């Protein structure tokens, strides 16, 4: 007879003290609860474009000017390129692990299978906290973008965005996928457009303006002197500051597989998305950074505009000087959809990871209640209520407090990436211990055991140096120190607190349920995803 709780929800076995590996081997990797109550409605094109939408955000459109000013054209380019390499490593690690364990909650649940349930608890609640605060933050950002056109009816605009975000979160998951698909198309069209525009401006294609070429790489030079620190050290610190900031431009790419249990053929589609999305995102970022460094000087005073809307974009700056008047409104409109998209994705990440925590007894069981369409409606309502914090943006003092809370999760991205890399490292250590060749994995590459170590070490270094500016003489800032480092002890406290409370233990590599996962692939085979044929092979976005 099934073991039910007071809500009539079937209880999944928890892994704590007294855990017997033989009992766990009999359990499904993908829980029956997920199979029965969630709907596999996200298609290949949805999952790939959701990943694109998550990674291409307001940072690409609005923050490149700050990167250019901080590191110079070459410093910014190298910073984004190196972070791109880290993101590639994280993406491949996530793809390999998710193909073997396609569960709701992604890397949060992977930590339980591969290392320690306490790690899943700590990282999971850290992601949930960040995702819950990200929704009102994105709504507040959307309000700033709307104020580019009008400052009237602020409360009404906030209400509209809260309602829209709730509707996207509560309706059939396929509707969410379709909305994010088209929002991602808009972003890509804008990126391609502004890159082409920047290239035309640089090559002298605008009447009345000469060719710019690489003029600004020669003067003021390829690197900036960070904080006016002289010599090579100042130039290196500028490059390093760009790299730390670039991390947050790529944030969101780790949420690609949080809805694995709602994805069609996840063992095939999630790895494909990880592989393809990285290349496209990196290409867009690298080209955008390169073009910005060619058309705007790193010492341009107009880069000091921190309005939060399209007027601070270096592309807008270049277009305005070239007499292209429509660009500011177009960029602002697409960035507005980007803010809404980011809020939608935070809603998805927060609700699905919270659902995954509840599935393993690390959150209240009533959070497992779902609609007939497979939506965890209690999780959605809870996150919508938190989204009402966006009304704090109507008061300057309240907004300051709100962003202080948001700053507490500034390093959460690096913690999540570190967890993904560590999960993957443990996966390969367990393969070696149990004598299983990596060719048995549904998706694998020979280099990933090495690139995951590269990603883990890099993320730890970035995490520890995220607030390095406060240690420079005369540059101490309490808010920067808190945002850079407070999340680290919070996650450690959550980890050791849950470990002490539940008496969890670190899994022996012999106990990692690899064979159970591989057997489940055989017992529950996926339909073969057909290869693109004819004109569809020309589709470079999601084909």
What would the pLDDT profile of 153-182 be if each residue is shown by its tens digit?
Answer: 889 999 999 999 999 999 888 888 888 888
Q: What percent of the chain has pLDDT over 90?
A: 35
Q: What predicted TM-score, i.e. pTM, was given to this entire model? A: 0.88
Number of domains in the chain: 1
Asked whether residue 34 is domain-assigned, the answer is no
Rounded CA-CA distance 32/45 in Å is 26
- For 98, the domain range is 42-515
Q: Is 221 left (phi over 0), alpha (psi -120 to 50) or beta?
A: left
465 falls within a domain: yes
* CATH number of the CATH domain containing 252: 1.20.1740.10
Please compute the mean of the pLDDT values over residues 314-327 and round it to a whole number. Answer: 84
Asked if the structure places residue 520 within a domain, the reply is no
Burial (Cβ within 10 Å: 0-12, 13-18, ≥19) of residue 481: middle
Q: What is the mean pLDDT of residues 537-543?
A: 59
pLDDT of residue 64: 84
Q: Could you tell me the CA-to-CA distances from 259 to 41, 176, 415 in Å, in that order? A: 10, 12, 20
pLDDT tens per residue, range 483-528: 889 899 999 999 999 999 999 999 999 999 999 889 888 888 877 7
% of the chain surpassing 70 pLDDT: 87
* pLDDT digits 0-9 by tens, 226-283: 988 889 999 999 999 998 778 877 877 777 777 777 788 888 888 887 777 667 777 7
Note whether residue 530 is domain-resident.
no
Please determine, for residue 538, whether its predicted confidence score (pLDDT) is greater than 60.
no
Round to whole Å and give the CA distance between 451 and 424: 10
Give me the pLDDT at residue 536, please.
59
Question: Residue 24 domain-assigned?
Answer: no
Report the distance separating Cα 93 and Cα 144, nearest Å. Answer: 37
Q: Report the pLDDT value the prediction gives residue 255, as an integer from 0 to 100.
A: 77
The pLDDT-based confidence of 126 (bands split at 50, 70, 90) is very high
Contacts of 288 (CB under 8 A, 6+ apart): 60, 64, 191, 194, 195
* Domain assignment present for 447: yes
Give per-residue pLDDT as tens, 71-124: 999 999 999 999 889 988 998 999 999 999 988 888 999 998 899 999 999 999
What pLDDT shows up at residue 236?
94
Report whether 444 contacts 96 (CB < 8 A). Answer: yes
Which has more confidence, 405 or 135?
135
Distance from C-alpha of 282 to C-alpha of 55, rounded to nearest angstrom: 10
More confident residue, 176 or 540: 176
Q: Is the pLDDT of residue 543 over 70?
A: no
Q: At what angle do helices 107-114 and 327-359 cross, to 10 degrees?
A: 30
Q: What pLDDT, on the 0 to 100 scale, is given for residue 534?
A: 58
What is the pLDDT at residue 505?
92
Is residue 373 over pLDDT 60?
A: yes
d(CA 165, CA 183): 14
Top-confidence range, 8-22, 160-174, 310-324, 417-431: 417-431
Which two tokens mark 446? 């020979």
Element (H, E) at 21: helix 21-25
In a domain, 460, yes or no: yes
Q: Is a pLDDT exceeding 60 seen at residue 2? A: no
Average pLDDT of span 190-204: 89
Q: Is residue 100 part of a domain?
A: yes
Q: Are 360 and 347 in contact (CB under 8 A)?
A: no
Best CA proximity match to 277, nearest among 208, 184, 359, 192 = 184
Distance between first and last Cα of the chain = 45
- Over residues 59-81, the mean pLDDT reads 87
In whole angstroms, give the CA distance from residue 173 to residue 377: 12
Tell me the two tokens of residue 17. Answer: 């003290």
Neighbour tally for 36: CB within 10 Å: 10
Q: Is 344 a residue whose pLDDT tops 70? A: yes
Distance CA 270, CA 106 (A): 11
CA neighbor of 134 nearest in space, from 373, 499, 402, 421: 402
Residue 489's pLDDT is 93
Q: 448-465 and 231-249 helices cross at what angle (nearest 10)?
A: 110
The predicted structure's pLDDT at residue 17: 38
Average pLDDT, the chain: 84
Residue 318's pLDDT is: 86
Q: Confidence band (pLDDT; 50, 70, 90) for 539? A: low
pLDDT value at 24 more than 90? no
Tokens of 55: 């990674």
């Amino acid at each position: 007879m099934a073991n039910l709780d007071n809500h009539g929800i079937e209880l999944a076995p928890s892994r704590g003290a007294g855990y017997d590996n033989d009992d766990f081997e009999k359990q499904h990797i993908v829980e029956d609860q997920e199979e029965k109550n969630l709907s596999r409605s996200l298609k290949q094109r949805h999952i790939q474009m959701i990943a694109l939408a998550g990674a291409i955000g307001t940072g690409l459109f609005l923050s490149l000017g700050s990167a250019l000013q901080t590191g110079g054209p070459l410093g910014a380019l190298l910073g984004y390129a190196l972070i791109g390499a880290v993101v590639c490593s994280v993406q491949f690690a996530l793809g390999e692990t998710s193909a073997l364990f396609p569960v709701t909650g992604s890397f949060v649940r992977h930590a339980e299978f591969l290392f320690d349930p306490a790690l899943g608890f700590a990282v999971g609640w850290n992601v949930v906290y960040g995702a819950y605060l990200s929704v009102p933050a994105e709504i507040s950002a959307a309000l700033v973008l709307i104020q580019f056109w009008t400052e009237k009816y602020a409360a009404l605009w906030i209400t509209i965005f809260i309602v829209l975000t709730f509707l996207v979160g509560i309706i059939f998951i396929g509707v969410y996928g379709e909305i994010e698909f088209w929002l991602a198309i808009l972003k890509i069209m804008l990126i391609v457009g502004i890159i082409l525009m920047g290239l035309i401006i640089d090559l002298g294609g605008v009447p009345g303006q000469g060719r710019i070429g690489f003029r600004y790489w020669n003067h003021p030079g390829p690197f900036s002197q960070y904080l006016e620190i002289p010599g090579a050290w100042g130039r290196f610190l500028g490059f390093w500051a760009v790299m730390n900031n670039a991390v947050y431009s790529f944030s969101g790419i780790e949420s690609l597989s949080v809805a694995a249990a709602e994805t069609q053929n996840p063992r095939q589609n999630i790895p494909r998305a990880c592989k393809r999305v990285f290349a496209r995102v990196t290409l867009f970022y690298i080209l955008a950074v390169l073009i910005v460094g060619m058309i705007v000087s790193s010492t341009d005073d107009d880069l000091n505009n921190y309005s939060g809307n399209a007027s601070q974009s270096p592309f807008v700056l270049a277009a305005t000087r070239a007499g292209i008047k429509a660009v500011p409104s177009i960029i602002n409109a697409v960035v507005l959809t980007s803010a809404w998209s980011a809020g939608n994705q935070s809603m998805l990440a927060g609700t699905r990871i919270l659902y995954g925590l509840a599935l393993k007894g690390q959150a209240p069981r009533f959070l497992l209640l779902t609609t007939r369409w497979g939506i965890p409606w209690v999780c959605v309502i809870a996150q919508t209520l938190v989204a009402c914090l966006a009304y704090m943006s109507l008061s300057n003092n309240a907004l300051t407090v709100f962003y202080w809370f948001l700053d507490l999760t500034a390093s959460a991205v690096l913690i999540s990436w570190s967890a993904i890399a560590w999960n993957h490292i443990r996966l390969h250590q367990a393969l070696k211990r149990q004598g299983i060749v990596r060719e048995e994995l549904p998706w694998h590459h020979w280099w990933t055991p090495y690139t995951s170590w590269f990603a883990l070490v890099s993320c730890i270094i970035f995490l520890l140096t995220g607030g390095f500016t406060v240690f420079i003489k005369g540059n101490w800032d309490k808010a920067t120190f808190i945002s850079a480092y407070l999340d680290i002890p919070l996650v450690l406290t959550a980890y050791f607190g849950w470990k002490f409370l539940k008496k969890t233990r670190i899994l022996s590599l012999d106990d990692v349920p690899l064979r159970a996962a591989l057997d489940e692939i055989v017992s529950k085979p996926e339909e073969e995803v057909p290869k693109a044929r004819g004109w569809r092979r020309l589709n470079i976005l999601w084909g």
